[in-house]
Structure 1
């Protein structure tokens, strides 16, 4: 079993990326999302399907899975990278060679039987300084680096905020964690700005985004990879009081994500239903009487964290989603318009959902939507009256 998995891993990190890179260079030269009827493309995709299918079959034939859950999740990522590449190039491998293995790996972990964004950042084991990638294109390196760093910063902020309730919002020790959360959220914005500045829009649209599309495993279609498929960002939403786990819209956002986050992230997502926001805790203590110095400082830091989360999400929507997805989609061929998103719904529906999330996280006033704006204003008023 170990030898078969090692062989698949070496192929994914070597020939697999070489084949995809050659194909992407052909597509990019033609400014095409995919090319049909090209002898060179047909030859390269045939090698991709044959060699990857053969290696996966050798793993599947052993009928023994790794005992360690992390190892099983990593193997699922390898199989998932192969399936995503086949979908990207619009070739159909033999389902019998991989579906049973992908499903057997995914079911005990409670995840979708495809690669997820966590296979690119949280669970992307580097070998010789190189991450697992689809291609060797510099644009993919830039995308994975800054997107991954943003995820790390979000996880750092979530860890800091999750440490506060046990201490209490008026604790001088909580000040350390809130200060760390503010700094981490500033890092999210900094990494997003670097991504927007360095990522080539055409390369992303033609050569990176297509690997994130939905595809079928066995008899079922599974949606593609989303950048927000990790639990930390939702923990931040709820702990800051910007999103409510009891809001039907937000419940739908969280529930839809369960199969697409890493197994350990699922526990955190489920815990949010009973998580009280730090914002509500601060209001309760401020209303109880004159605030102590630590409570005042922590309340100000919490407001800073809300501003930082808002700034990062507004920048992401306006400077990454719009220019890197919405605008390029306008000049995609008609036959590809229905395939512009990784999530399944039409592009405009996805953009509307993201815009509503942006406004919740930024506490923007939005008709028919309750945001945290009144609570944030209440905190500011209580602080001002106590000064």
Structure 2
């Protein structure tokens, strides 16, 4: 970063955090999502808007971005030459976009109008050069968030916000570990002894996802999340376009797992729409992984083909059972997230929003659609990942999984014998 961007970063890590925290404590004490008309709080809001705008303008002075990299979902804004004062590396520019995005999200959260428009040109230029949405996304909180003095960037100093970022970020890393293991299986074949190692690695990663989800559910306070964390994730406008809010699932690994296991298909219109919608909200390297899902052969198909080809060898039997365990764990992690995190931390508190706060009630989700539409979409995704049959709906991978389980049950028990221990 140049010196102006470093000043912006210091402000985000210090004064910005203190100002947001002061507002959040006042909102929480009043038991509401936002307060208007209190002079001391309006002063704080104006300070966020003014100071952030000044720092953004300094960071943008004399600089531009490289020629844009077009994507199907993000139209290039400008095509201008790179100037010396602007970061040249993708990671540096993505990090700077996150800083600008933090500021824009805070302005949206506190309903600060006017000053934030000064940040729109820089956000659009950075995003256009990277092929991403011009706002902060979850990757800016979890994976592109350098810690300084043991502390990563947050909106507030609230312990619940730190816990939310920490445990969700660790879950992303665990999902990435799982996806990396599964991607390597195609080159080895599903009956390879090396595949057993990779499937155990995938199982371990998903065990971690479940454990981290349980810890988050026990650690995070429902009211703190709903009143003081979730509002920073709202959709907001950049220039003339409204961009949807932050989703902790905006990374490629979970979709790679869906498709590689064979639980979801990129050719299913429902699932294809999900991939297309999330594409600009993922980091540039994740976009390449999302594109790769269209050509990946599901491991479920490979296991069905090989188990049908002849007698089950001990290695193929063990690998098949490991594969089925990985599928079960992926579904269990998805179901836990939906029923133990999304429902109690979003759907249930949303139902308690007073009727006289209808404007707030209409702005409950980060995705834009009404809450019942979002919940229906998430429930359908859980059904796909758990291979659950729904009345009047496609059973997804359930028939194929049952066929694979039947092949195991019908074959003689040929498990590998444990290796002898040395004496």
Note whether the superposition's TM-score is higher than 0.5. Answer: yes
State how many pairs are aligned.
387
The structure with more helix, counted as a fraction of residues = 1
How far, CA to CA, are the matches of 1:120 and 1:205 in structure 2? 18
Instruction: Name the counterpart of 2:57.
Output: 57
Does structure 1 residue 386 correspond to structure 2 residue 407? no
1:272-322 residue CA offsets vs partner (Å, 9 max, x unmatched): 111111011000000000122221111111100011001111111000010
Where does the alignment leave 5 or more consecutive residues of structure 1 unmatched?
Answer: none
Whether contact under 8 Å (1:12, 1:78) holds in the other structure is: yes
Instruction: Name the counterpart of 2:415.
Output: none
Match of 1:135 among 151, 156, 161: 156
How far, CA to CA, are the matches of 1:181 and 1:123 in structure 2? 24
Does structure 1 residue 372 correspond to structure 2 residue 389? no
Match of 2:379 among 320, 344, 355: 355
Does the residue aligned with 1:339 lie in a helix, a strand or coil?
coil
Does the residue aligned with 1:315 lie in a helix, a strand or coil?
helix
Does structure 1 residue 280 correspond to structure 2 residue 301? yes
How far, CA to CA, are the matches of 1:93 and 1:235 in structure 2? 41
Does structure 1 residue 145 correspond to structure 2 residue 131? no
Shift of 1:344: 0.7
Where does the alignment leave 5 or more consecutive residues of structure 2 unmatched?
Answer: 64-84, 413-423
Does the residue aligned with 2:193 lie in a helix, a strand or coil?
coil
Whether contact under 8 Å (1:240, 1:306) holds in the other structure is: yes
Instruction: Name the counterpart of 1:319.
Output: 340
Q: Provide TM-score, normalisation by structure 1.
A: 0.99
1:139-191 residue CA offsets vs partner (Å, 9 max, x unmatched): 10111111111111111100110111111111111111100000110110100
Instruction: Name the counterpart of 2:66.
Output: none
How far, CA to CA, are the matches of 1:249 and 1:88 in structure 2? 31
Does the residue aligned with 1:221 lie in a helix, a strand or coil?
strand
Instruction: Name the counterpart of 1:293.
Output: 314
Q: Provide TM-score, normalisation by structure 2.
A: 0.90
How far, CA to CA, are the matches of 1:142 and 1:126 in structure 2? 15
How far, CA to CA, are the matches of 1:27 and 1:58 in structure 2? 31
Does the residue aligned with 2:242 lie in a helix, a strand or coil?
strand
Whether contact under 8 Å (1:95, 1:217) holds in the other structure is: no
Whether contact under 8 Å (1:60, 1:97) holds in the other structure is: no
The CA RMSD measured in Å over matched residues stands at: 0.9
Whether contact under 8 Å (1:124, 1:132) holds in the other structure is: yes
Whether contact under 8 Å (2:252, 2:286) holds in the other structure is: yes
Does the residue aligned with 2:362 lie in a helix, a strand or coil?
helix
The structure with more radius of gyration: 2
1:101-125 residue CA offsets vs partner (Å, 9 max, x unmatched): 0011001211000000001111111
**Consecutive aligned runs of 4 or more in structure 1 exceeding 4 Å deviation:** none
How far, CA to CA, are the matches of 2:100 and 2:166 in structure 1? 22
